[in-house]
Chain A
Amino acid sequence: SQQGEEDPQALSIQEGENATMNCSYKTSINNLQWYRQNSGRGLVHLILIRSNEREKHSGRLRVTLDTSKKSSSLLITASRAADTASYFCATARASGTYKYIFGTGTRLKVLA
């Protein structure tokens, strides 16, 4: 798989349910970030988790990082229709310029 691949590619849930998105990557990283993008719009930073962290919370968001499996998950609890968007993970390598490699994204649709 490519660096920063999310699954599922698309997810449709009812309002109030939880949404879980996963990201896998290949190389050692310094940190991993999750971004949200509404259709055709800019990238909104959600949360950053560093390689020495295992879990972070921000409001209704919970991110985990498993460096041994080279994977991360984003959990959105009690989803709302306004959470409908594409979600991307972006990994920064452990060395070099820290360029971010984006995954293919998960398109989340929350039905009211």
Chain B
Amino acid sequence: EPEVTQTPSHQVTQMGQEVILRCVPISNHLYFYWYRQILGQKVEFLVSFYNNEISEKSEIFDDQFSVERPDGSNFTLKIRSTKLEDSAMYFCASRADNTEAFFGQGTRLTVV
């Protein structure tokens, strides 16, 4: 069964460092998303991406964040200068037209 794959599963980084979270969406999907979940809280929308551009982003997705689909298969989320409050589980999701969204297993980001 096709699945969304995220790497790494856990990343520890120092405050101020840049991190790149990687996702491989399901191959025929067209819509891609990043969400985050701070421990014990709800899953929050960060950004959606379609046709090689951001289609929508939330207030959380400020200038420190960027997304890219560099090679037609990977979908990355970059945080330029991490803050302690960026510590969370980050989920990538993808979907085809009019289907459910499939989520990856998440990357747990810990900023120390």
Contact = CB atoms under 8 A, between A and B. Distances in A.
B42 A104 contact: yes
Contacts of A33: 100-101
A45 B105 CA distance: 11
Interface stretch (B19-27, B44-52, B63-71, B79-87): B44-52
Interface in A24-75: 30-31, 33, 35, 40-43, 45, 48
A98 B31 CA distance: 9
Main secondary structure of the interface of A (DSSP, over half): strand
Nearest to B105: A42
Nearest to A30: B98
A42 B106 contact: yes
A87 interface: no
Given A45-B100, A98-B95, A99-B48, 11 more contacts: A30-B98, A35-B103, A41-B105, A42-B105, A42-B106, A97-B31, A97-B48, A97-B55, A98-B48, A102-B35, A104-B42
